Chain A
Amino acid sequence: MKIAIPVDEKSLKSNVCVSFGRTPYFLIYDIDTKESTFLDNSAAASTGGAGIKAAQTIVDNKVNALLTPRCGQNAADVLGAADIKIYKTTNTSVKENIDDYIAGRLSLLDEIHAGFHGHGGN
């Protein structure tokens, strides 16, 4: 079972990135083997639709769940079509969020924003 988290650096000690679509890297963490892989997010520099492209990457890596502080509508649509659950991270520590997820302490992300599309946000 694999989970994905947007991260600022290629390290388990990294912080969770505040943005899903434009995060520099994704951590793909295999809960069973405890194996971690870091992916460059090719969507980060997109002119538009970064969330869609980032979500496509997540889907292609066959993860079961995404842990993120927030997520836009288009990305949520892509992830939803692939039956990937989106959980809301509770703090900036990657490690703690993984532990919380395994212990079932994370709740599903229910606030999906409409997207910033050049009108602000980070």
Chain B
Amino acid sequence: MRIAVLSGKGGTGKTLVSVNLAAEAKTSSYIDCDVEEPNGHLFFKPDDVQEEEISVRIPRVDDKLCNGCRKCVDFCKFNALAYIKEKLIIFGEVCHSCGGCVILCPEKALIEKEKVIGKVQKGISDQVMVYTGILNTGEASGIPIIKKLLAENKRDSNKLTFIDCPPGSACIVMESIKDADYCILVAEPTLFGVHNLNMVYELVKLFNKPLGVVLNKCLEGENPAEKFCLERNIKILGRIPFDNELGMLNSNAEIAARESKKYNALFSSLLETVKKEVQHETTTNP
């Protein structure tokens, strides 16, 4: 069972929710797909960490063989190649590593070269398998790393898995939720929060995934995110208060569900609600 946790912007509480749910579930997997700034490992502090480098294949040209036919330039949907002053220029960070140019080149002037873009780590914290994707600074796309993370975890797919998504609703988020059975949207109680919630809500609807919302940073008084959910008949899975104790635990990189009775109870009940929802959704809409 794969549960993706996402939100329209950073800092709403994706990591808080996914880390604590994974910790609460005991035997589970936590996958940090926020490869540009993964931070779930700071909470889990996993042991026995194994690491693997991730690389992509980028074409390289042999200028002596290239005859300037431009078949590769015309073929590339991402315009990663240009032919200027009788010389082929390749933009590695624009390339999506499809390999098409290499296949097409009639002169066999293009060869593929491995380029390391980051790494994945796998370790254990109590009984939680902690997967972390790390994209090297300056690299354009973390999608190959997310693909690897999710494929790695597929072997343990009978376990409850929490996918901590990158913020926003771009390609990298789509890749993270693609194979999820259920999506948890984390929302802040502000108008800005509602705008961001709507972005991910539309995305998840587009993917036809069952979803529920966790209202984070709840205060007394009106909650625009709650209103948004009620108006659209979106399931509210739980509410996390805007609370000093939780803030302290979190900023000390402690897992609230493991350290505090109050939050153990809160996340335990949230986990039960989520499990029930996922089960309901997978039996009614398999």
| Contact between A56 and B82, CB atoms less than 8 A apart | yes
Least CB separation from B93: chain A residue: A74
Q: A47-B78, A55-B82, A59-B84 are in contact. List 9 more A-B contacts (CB 8 A).
A: A49-B91, A50-B79, A52-B91, A52-B94, A74-B94, A81-B84, A81-B85, A82-B85, A118-B170
| Contact between A53 and B79, CB atoms less than 8 A apart | yes
Proximity string of chain B (164-205) to chain A, C-beta cutoff 8 Å, 1 when within and 0 when not: 000000110000000000000000000000000000000000
| Contact between A56 and B84, CB atoms less than 8 A apart | yes
- B81 → chain A, closest Cβ, in Å? 8
6 contacting pairs across A/B (C-beta < 8 A): A49-B79, A49-B80, A52-B94, A59-B84, A81-B82, A81-B87
Given A78-B89, A81-B89, A117-B140, also A52-B84 (CB < 8 A): no
Q: Is A43 part of the contact surface with B, judged by Cβ < 8 Å?
A: yes
- A114 → chain B, closest Cβ, in Å? 11
Proximity string of chain B (78-109) to chain A, C-beta cutoff 8 Å, 1 when within and 0 when not: 11111111010101001010000000000000
Which of B87, B89, B96 is A77 in contact with, Cβ under 8 Å? B89
Q: Is B73 part of the contact surface with A, judged by Cβ < 8 Å?
A: yes
A78 to chain B: which residues have CB within 8 Å? 82, 84, 89
Q: How many interface contacts (CB-CB < 8 Å) are there between A and B?
A: 51
Proximity string of chain B (221-235) to chain A, C-beta cutoff 8 Å, 1 when within and 0 when not: 000000000000000
A53 to chain B: which residues have CB within 8 Å? 79, 82
| Contact between A46 and B79, CB atoms less than 8 A apart | yes
- The number of chain A residues touching the other chain, given as a range, is 10 to 19
Q: Is B77 part of the contact surface with A, judged by Cβ < 8 Å?
A: yes
B81 to chain A: which residues have CB within 8 Å? 52
| Contact between B79 and A43, CB atoms less than 8 A apart | yes
| Contact between B94 and A49, CB atoms less than 8 A apart | yes
Least CB separation from A51: chain B residue: B79
| Contact between B170 and A82, CB atoms less than 8 A apart | no
Q: Which of A56-99 contact B (CB under 8 A)?
A: 56, 59, 74, 77-78, 81-82
- Using a CB–CB cutoff of 8 Å, the interface residues on chain B facing chain A are 73, 76-85, 87, 89, 91, 94, 96, 140, 170-171
B85 to chain A: which residues have CB within 8 Å? 81-82
Least CB separation from A75: chain B residue: B82
A77 to chain B: which residues have CB within 8 Å? 89, 91
Q: How far is the CA of A55 from the CA of B82 in the complex (A)?
A: 9
Least CB separation from A82: chain B residue: B84
Which of A43, A46, A50, A74 is B91 in contact with, Cβ under 8 Å? A74
| Contact between A56 and B78, CB atoms less than 8 A apart | no
Q: How far is the CA of A111 from the CA of B207 in the complex (A)?
A: 39
| Contact between B80 and A52, CB atoms less than 8 A apart | yes
A59 to chain B: which residues have CB within 8 Å? 82, 84
B170 to chain A: which residues have CB within 8 Å? 118
- A37 → chain B, closest Cβ, in Å? 21
B140 to chain A: which residues have CB within 8 Å? 117
A49 to chain B: which residues have CB within 8 Å? 76, 78-80, 91, 94
| Contact between B80 and A56, CB atoms less than 8 A apart | no
- B206 → chain A, closest Cβ, in Å? 16
B82 to chain A: which residues have CB within 8 Å? 52-53, 55-56, 59, 78, 81
- A90 → chain B, closest Cβ, in Å? 28
B171 to chain A: which residues have CB within 8 Å? 118
